[in-house]
Amino acid sequence: MLINSAVYDDGRMVAEPGLDGVSEALEARQTGFVWIALRDPTDDELHLLQHELNLPALAVEDARKGHQRPKVEEYGDMLFAAMHLLEGGPDGELQVGEVHVFVGARFIVSVRHRSDQGFLGVRGRAEREPDLLRQGPGFVFYALMDAVVDRYFPLMDAIEAELEQLEETMFRPHQDRQAVVQRLFGLKQRLATLRHAVTPLLEVSAKLHGGRVPVVCKALQDYFRDVYDHLLRIQASIDAARETIIAATQVNLTLVTIDESLVTKRLAAWAAIFAASTALAGIWGMNFEKMPELKWEFGYPMALGAIVLVSSALYWRFKHLKWL
Amino acid sequence: MLINSAVYDDGRMVAEPGLDGVSEALEARQTGFVWIALRDPTDDELHLLQHELNLPALAVEDARKGHQRPKVEEYGDMLFAAMHLLEGGPDGELQVGEVHVFVGARFIVSVRHRSDQGFLGVRGRAEREPDLLRQGPGFVFYALMDAVVDRYFPLMDAIEAELEQLEETMFRPHQDRQAVVQRLFGLKQRLATLRHAVTPLLEVSAKLHGGRVPVVCKALQDYFRDVYDHLLRIQASIDAARETIIAATQVNLTLVTIDESLVTKRLAAWAAIFAASTALAGIWGMNFEKMPELKWEFGYPMALGAIVLVSSALYWRFKHLKWL
Amino acid sequence: MLINSAVYDDGRMVAEPGLDGVSEALEARQTGFVWIALRDPTDDELHLLQHELNLPALAVEDARKGHQRPKVEEYGDMLFAAMHLLEGGPDGELQVGEVHVFVGARFIVSVRHRSDQGFLGVRGRAEREPDLLRQGPGFVFYALMDAVVDRYFPLMDAIEAELEQLEETMFRPHQDRQAVVQRLFGLKQRLATLRHAVTPLLEVSAKLHGGRVPVVCKALQDYFRDVYDHLLRIQASIDAARETIIAATQVNLTLVTIDESLVTKRLAAWAAIFAASTALAGIWGMNFEKMPELKWEFGYPMALGAIVLVSSALYWRFKHLKWL
Amino acid sequence: MLINSAVYDDGRMVAEPGLDGVSEALEARQTGFVWIALRDPTDDELHLLQHELNLPALAVEDARKGHQRPKVEEYGDMLFAAMHLLEGGPDGELQVGEVHVFVGARFIVSVRHRSDQGFLGVRGRAEREPDLLRQGPGFVFYALMDAVVDRYFPLMDAIEAELEQLEETMFRPHQDRQAVVQRLFGLKQRLATLRHAVTPLLEVSAKLHGGRVPVVCKALQDYFRDVYDHLLRIQASIDAARETIIAATQVNLTLVTIDESLVTKRLAAWAAIFAASTALAGIWGMNFEKMPELKWEFGYPMALGAIVLVSSALYWRFKHLKWL
Amino acid sequence: MLINSAVYDDGRMVAEPGLDGVSEALEARQTGFVWIALRDPTDDELHLLQHELNLPALAVEDARKGHQRPKVEEYGDMLFAAMHLLEGGPDGELQVGEVHVFVGARFIVSVRHRSDQGFLGVRGRAEREPDLLRQGPGFVFYALMDAVVDRYFPLMDAIEAELEQLEETMFRPHQDRQAVVQRLFGLKQRLATLRHAVTPLLEVSAKLHGGRVPVVCKALQDYFRDVYDHLLRIQASIDAARETIIAATQVNLTLVTIDESLVTKRLAAWAAIFAASTALAGIWGMNFEKMPELKWEFGYPMALGAIVLVSSALYWRFKHLKWL
């Protein structure tokens, strides 16, 4: 589906050609570039675009099939980039969409898959600041990348907040340990999703601001270094969170074992108390003919007293040992 | 066993020489190349081929013995490649076959071992598109490699699907924990098999599209980068699945310990209930002469009532504590 | 908030311009530099400064937003550095503040965030030693960095001391294992905070004394190598402490399991002692008509003796086995 | 002890000088080289050889002391190599011997320590193929290295076979878990021994076929690449086996815990069954005067029936829950 | 404290100046060098030396403060090295001392801290072999380094011996598991201390024999490669021991759990035996009027027989199951 198609020259929009008028619109003027946004495009739309802008077949094939890992590939002077769009689902799980970007000397095409996150904000900001737009497709590419990366931060923040809450409650008594381990596992999975969006992008974005930089990004190295720095920051947070989760999972196992130990202690304590009572009662239930205390006036209360006494003594003993 | 032997020139098949006519067939024309496919070849067939095409002895020895790790070796202008062919067995285990490929300026030889997966599809596609075939043995090499790698995807998908199912059921109550740990272990083994096919190939395929590229692959760098990208994608999936398995195994241990803890609690609870009843019955079973309640009209029902009362009280107490 | 703003020439302070007089003050003389210190600055202050000193927009944006990872970035001849300021909170947790430093040929600006740790000591020392100050903004940058890094040492020492104490007490009997695991986890978190301050700084400071060194640090390579060496030392301590914590956590799990094992043994032992008594009492409580010992003169004491004997025998047996 | 000392020229043996005639024998002809094999040599033998062939003192010192890690060192044009000779002992443990090799332009010396594995096969093969021998000491060095590395394969195969057997039996019921963990630990130790033979050799052999290759190995790069490839294959097997062992050890811990859980369940079940019987018997053993059922004609059989009934009901209940 | 101060020329000692006569003594002759040994020096001694030999301030500061990590730093033509001196304390813990070495074209200064290990042996050996001493301060530096590193071997051997003993006893029955885990933890700590002495030294010593070698070590590359090789060997042993400790710790946890499992089984078995006896006795203790066996002549012995029979049957059953 075509979302938008606009030709910009000298920072202002000058035409809105359809997909099939793109090459004409570009040839009509010496300068300027076209900015096209597609969403879940049909094969026809992609083929038309490939023809109009002379896009490389392998890259178009990637964009058609989707499910790419984040990457930036050079095809001659053109760049093809794939990035993950992440959205927090209702159950906390992260939904993975994608955006593919073709960047040429006179065009930029973004193809969005399986995601509701649009880039209207990016277009709006770009149109409000003609100075920036004047820098061409490379700047738009940066702006898109920046927007994608900025959306990772709140997801990371949510993970960190949940993790911090878990850390705090974990050591409190009477926790549902299974729920803790389940939430930790869920966090780990979300973190993995985030990492698979961030880490490959980090690697490729490193090549956009240092060493041999692709020609369309040449003048914008400081901007791409800024994106790189943001990714590095998320990466550091991911690593930290991951370590915390690993440690917390292990700690949780220890806590589970400690819990079990406590239960075993209580079991042992109560078993001992009842067993002592039963043994005493059993003794006075024996049928020997000569058991003088059986004939005492206060034999029975005395026996009951003895049983209570022993039970209480054991109870206090175990209380003192913290077994109860 | 010889599967196929055909000479292609200008994109069309022009001859089908036997193994012993290969060098003649090539000398008979200035251009074109021969494409030979063998399966579990005899030593004689390999020696004949070595002689006809002047293949390097060490590489032929590798192809004869099999059980190579994935690799691409240069012998002068010739390439020798080994790749793993994986097939899902009936019990989910992966069967490992191999294909060895010799690529020269005017020939390509594929030698398949211990695998039913043929490359007829590759040949068919190549013959239908003479344009591509015109690019020579390098293109056929790419097509074979692409076919091998594409067959890894469904295997990876199957692993991911089973893993996802395990993740979902793992936290449900009353799971057979041993079955879970056994399936996780099985998945880990399959993943290891896949990894040993993918990782070395990833390393060597990196050298086919960047830096000093072997001469037969020179014109096809974008294609090999595409294969490399596919391998990178599987590699990322493998890494993710591996982490998940490790985490799930650890989580499972915690769940087992929690399960045990629950059983211990139930044991403790029921032991307490019965022990209390027994202790009470023991008390009224004592033989003291003066135990007034023994003579009461409703002493017995009262005793039974007391026992039921205490047992019920304990039962509800434990129910409340979630021990039962 | 402006803390300080002073122009130094030839090692001595020559002027104290406000933020809006900085560029004028610099232009008024051929040599010398200005040293400005800000704390939790307003946006206005930062914009004014950006204008006066022609600071790069992206770096100022970073300084405004804060929450940067430690880094050193070059913008042309200028350096922008971010470092973490760590303070031990009352509960042992580390509070993370930041200082951002802009270093140019003729200025150095430090911007402190969320931290009470000032750099008056640095300024005092610098003013007392005009020789050093004469070396310009690069030296001040070194002095700030050195001060930041030196403050990491006592934090690391505190962690090591607590860890050592834990190691010693861990193997003593009757430890509160949950407290141990909780303290270990807390130490791990503090260590992670420290590591996230140190590791990135280590990476960047490596670039300040070897290879292509930024121009403002050129003459001071030995000094920056010294800072680097300090960071390396903390890093080594961090790694060692981290390994110890991991090992101690695992050891603690084993100790918990051993503890549980001991409790189970005691439970088993006491259960056996009481069960034997109860079984004996039960036997003599049977109602058979012909049980000669029931009629013996000393049958009852004998029975009690038997019970005591069996219990004692079991008690000594278990004592010997170390179950009790 | 001198095993062998022979001068080869043009692929044929031409003399068998003693240790003290080596230099003379070499000077007597323009071409050819001497091949000396020693086993557990005395200091005198080594010093004599050092003098005759002008071997570097540090290398001779290494050969004298033994217990070297695998390595290849260059001393000018000479190479000194140390490799581990592994032999499976009766109890499965690997015995570590060593062979040290000095390779010069006109000599090759092998010094074997603490191992019964000779290199007669290598010498035999070399003498049968004069073509190869004509290539000089470099070829002999390759042949020795190849022989050493080839002997690692059956050791690795044995480890893999035992591991596979463990994997299969591990999940079967009623395993002796301690035996499993002990065998896994033993495999891990053997694997470590193998790895310490292979990994350093892999590193150094990489330098014998690529980059700046020592002069005596120059013409034989394809051969050394083959050895390297073999080592890479073992290395991959080692890594795979190691991962499997780690996973299996962890799985075994989980299985142990599951086993324990099962035992606890059985304990709980039987305890409940007996406790219920005892409680019922205790109730009918109370001494209340009015317990009508005690006087019934079939009171006793009824009571027994009730006890059997309750026990059976519990038994079937637990059977159903898989606790028994 | 000054231990020694001697000027050597042409391999022989020619003067023994005090600290304040060093520069004079050097200027008095064209060649030769001074070798100074200090132990726990005062600040005055260090300052005097710094002045006499023109030592760099930062390096002297390091030597004064101590607690450096192992390193080799270049200051122009001078080298500053720090190495750890390890001594086994009475309780097995390793005491960490330090030696700092300043190496210049005409001097070598060793400064020892917190250690009783002197270098008299090194001096003695050097003086006995004037040939070596003639090579200047670089050779003395090598000799000191060699002596330091050689002292690591017996420490490593002690760790390995203790570890081997633990491995052997670990699987034997009735081990004190807590003692095992405590000793493993102690070994791990000692190993960490050793590693922190070895690993950084390994890194820096690599730079003393390959690539751009400092000028004072130039002629001695083979010697420094030898030291490097020794360090590599210890490093390999450390890695191996570390892996073994990790594996053994994990194995120990499994063994603890198995132990616990065995105890639970014994508990279960004995509980069942006594519970069965008690249940039987309880049945014959019921007060039904019509219990014919109570009146039998041999009812009581029969009952006792039944109880013994059931108990024995259970006992043998459990014996057979290996629960007892």
The per-residue pLDDT for range A284-298, each reduced to its tens digit, is 999 888 888 888 888
Mind listing the pLDDT tens digit for each residue in A157-181?
Answer: 999 999 999 998 899 888 888 999 9
In this predicted structure, the answer to whether residue E236 has a pLDDT above a threshold of 80 is: yes
| Predicted local confidence at residue E118, as pLDDT | 83
Q: Give the residue with greater pLDDT, D155 vs E322.
A: D155
Residue B151: per-residue pLDDT = 94
Determine contact: C308 vs chain A, CB below 8 A. no
C202 confidence band (pLDDT: 50, 70, 90): very high
Q: For D13-26, what is the mean pLDDT? A: 90
Q: What is the pLDDT averaged over residues B23-33?
A: 90
For D278, the token pair is 């005892």
Mean pLDDT of C212-226: 87
- Flag whether residue B172 sits within 8 Å of chain A, measured between CB atoms: no
Q: Please enumerate in sequence order all residues whose Cβ is within 8 A of that of A173, keeping only pairs 6 or more positions apart, or say none.
A: none
Contact by Cβ (8 Å): D260, D178 = no
Residue pair B283/A285 in contact (Cβ under 8 Å)? The answer is no
- State the average pLDDT for chain A: 90
Interface probe with E: pick from C287, C294, C320, most Cβ of E within 10 Å: C287
How is residue E103 written in tokens? 């190496």
CA–CA gap between residue D257 and residue E260 (Å, rounded) = 10
Between E11 and A107, the higher pLDDT residue: A107
The answer to whether C170 faces chain A, any CB pair under 8 Å, is no
Above 90 in pLDDT, residue C92? Answer: no
Average pLDDT over residues E183-187: 94
Query: What is the mean pLDDT of the segment spanning C292-297?
Result: 88
Q: Choose the weakest-confidence range: B265-279, C66-80, D159-173, E282-296.
A: B265-279
Which pLDDT score, from 0 to 100, does residue E209 have?
Answer: 87
The CA-based angle B81-B84-B87, given to 5 degrees, is: 155
**Given A225, A233, A288, which is nearest C294 (Cβ)?**
A288
Closest residue by Cα to residue E22 from E30, E33, E38, E10:
E33
Q: Is C266 within 8 Å of A268 when comparing Cβ atoms?
A: yes
Residue among E248, E258, E288 minimizing CB distance to D303: E288
Per the model's pLDDT, the better-predicted residue between C218 and E228 turns out to be: E228
| Helix D299-320 × helix E221-284 angle, to 10° | 160
Please say if the pLDDT value at position A153 is more than 90: yes
For residue D93, give the DSSP letter: P
The helix/strand/coil state of C172 is: coil
Q: Return the pLDDT at B92.
A: 74
The single-letter code of the amino acid at C317 is R
**pLDDT exceeds cutoff 90 at C230:** yes
Interface probe for D, chosen from B71, B243, B263 (most Cβ of D below 10 Å), is B263
Residues in chain D: 324
Of A185, A278, A285, the CB nearest to B287: A285
pLDDT (tens digit per residue) in D59-113: 999 999 888 999 999 998 899 999 999 998 777 789 999 999 999 999 999 999 9
**Cross-strand pairs, A85:** A97
Per-residue pLDDT, D306: 93
Which residues are CB-neighbours of B279 under 8 A, at least 6 positions away? Answer: A274, A277, A278, A281
Residue E257: CB atoms within 10 A of its CB come to 26
Cβ E5 vs Cβ E33: under 8 Å: no
Q: Quick check: A211 pLDDT over 80?
A: no
Taking the Cβ of residue D189 and every Cβ of chain E, the question of whether any pair is shorter than 8 Å is answered with yes
pLDDT higher than 80, residue A40: yes
C285 touches chain E (CB under 8 A): yes
Q: Please tell me the predicted confidence (pLDDT) of residue D81.
A: 95
- Please count the CA atoms within 13 angstroms of the CA of C307 that sit on its side-chain side: 22
The token pair that represents A213 in the structure block: 């930089």
Closest CB to A267: pick one of B226, B264, B276.
B264
Smallest CA-to-CA distance from E284 within E305, E298, E299 is with: E299
Q: Do C264 and E267 touch (CB under 8 A)?
A: yes
Q: Are strands E107-113 and D12-15 parallel, antiparallel or unpaired?
A: unpaired
Q: Is the pLDDT of residue A135 over 80?
A: yes
Chain D residues lying within 8 Å of E278, measured CB to CB: 274, 278
Average pLDDT (A196-225) is: 88
Compute the distance between CA of residue E255 and CA of residue D93 in angstroms, rounded to an integer: 22
Question: Distance (Å, rounded) from C-alpha C22 to C-alpha C18?
Answer: 7
Enumerate the residues of chain B whose CB falls inside 8 A of the CB of residue A266: 268
Which of helix, strand or coil describes residue C300?
A: helix
**Does residue A99 carry a pLDDT above 90?**
yes
CA-based torsion, E4, E8, E13, E19: positive or negative? negative
Any bridge partners for residue C323, and if so which?
A: none
pLDDT digits (tens, 9 = 90+) for D120-152: 889 988 888 888 888 889 999 999 999 999 999
Nearest Cα neighbor of A229 from A199, A204, A206, A213 is: A206
Who among E250, E260, E307 is closest to C257 (CB)?
A: E260
Does B287 touch chain A if contact means CB atoms closer than 8 Å?
A: yes
Please list every residue in chain E whose beta carbon sits closer than 8 Å to the beta carbon of residue C223. Answer: 58
Average pLDDT over every residue of D273-282:
88
Q: Give the SS3 label for residue C98.
A: strand
Collapse the DSSP code of E38 into the 3-class scheme (helix H, G, I; strand E, B; otherwise coil) and give the result.
strand
pLDDT at res. C268:
77
Render pLDDT for C263-282 as a digit per residue (tens, 0 to 9): 888 877 887 888 888 888 99
> What is the spatial distance between Cα A241 and Cα A244, in angstroms, rounded to a whole number?
5
Q: pLDDT tens for residues E95-148? A: 999 999 999 999 999 999 988 888 888 998 888 888 888 889 999 999 999 999
Residue A64: per-residue pLDDT:
92
Question: In Å, what is the CA distance from A188 to each residue of A87, A152, A184, B9, C220?
Answer: 16, 16, 6, 56, 45
pLDDT at A90: 76
Cross-chain Cβ contact D258/B257 below 8 Å: no
Closest approach of A12 to chain C, Cα-based (Å): 24
pLDDT digits over E205-234, tens only?
A: 888 987 788 888 888 888 999 999 999 999
Mean pLDDT, chain D, rounded, equals 90
pLDDT for A113 beyond 90 = yes
Residue D193, phi then psi, degrees to nearest 5: -60, -45
Can you name the residues that pair with C83 across neighbouring β-strands?
C99
Q: Which amino acid is at E196?
A: H
Residue A181 has its nearest CB partner, among B225, B254, B267, at B254
- Closest among E267, E275, D293 to A278, alpha carbons compared: E275
CA dist C140 to C68, C118, C219, D69, D102, Å? 21, 14, 13, 49, 57
> B276 and A281: CB-CB below 8 Å?
no
Which of B253, B255, B282 has the CB atom closest to A178's CB atom?
B255
Q: Band the pLDDT of A324: cuts 50, 70, 90.
A: confident
pLDDT at residue B90 above 80? no
Contact (CB<8Å) C259/A261: yes
Best CA proximity match to A267, nearest among B275, C316, E265, B311: B275
Of chain A residues 9-28, which have a CB less than 8 A from chain B?
A: none
Q: For CA atoms C280, C282, C285, C288, give the dihedral sign.
A: negative
Q: What is the mean pLDDT of residues C110-128?
A: 88
Confidence at residue D315, expressed as pLDDT on a 0 to 100 scale: 92
* Number of residues that make up chain E: 324
Residues of E in contact with D281 (CB under 8 A): 279, 282-283, 285-286
For residues A258 and C323, the model is more confident at: A258
Residue B259 has pLDDT above 90, yes or no: no
The answer for D72, left when phi > 0, alpha when psi is -120 to 50, beta otherwise, is: beta
> C with E: how many residue pairs have Cβ under 8 Å apart?
134
Whole-model pTM?
Answer: 0.86
Q: What letter represents residue A183's amino acid?
A: R
Q: Determine contact: D70 vs chain E, CB below 8 A.
A: no
Say what the ipTM of the complex is. 0.82
Separation in Å, CA C182 to CA A251, C248, C258: 8, 12, 19
The shortest C-alpha distance from B303 to chain D (Å) reads 9
D206/B106 Cα distance (integer angstroms): 31
* pLDDT tens figures, A241-273: 999 999 999 999 999 989 888 888 887 788 788
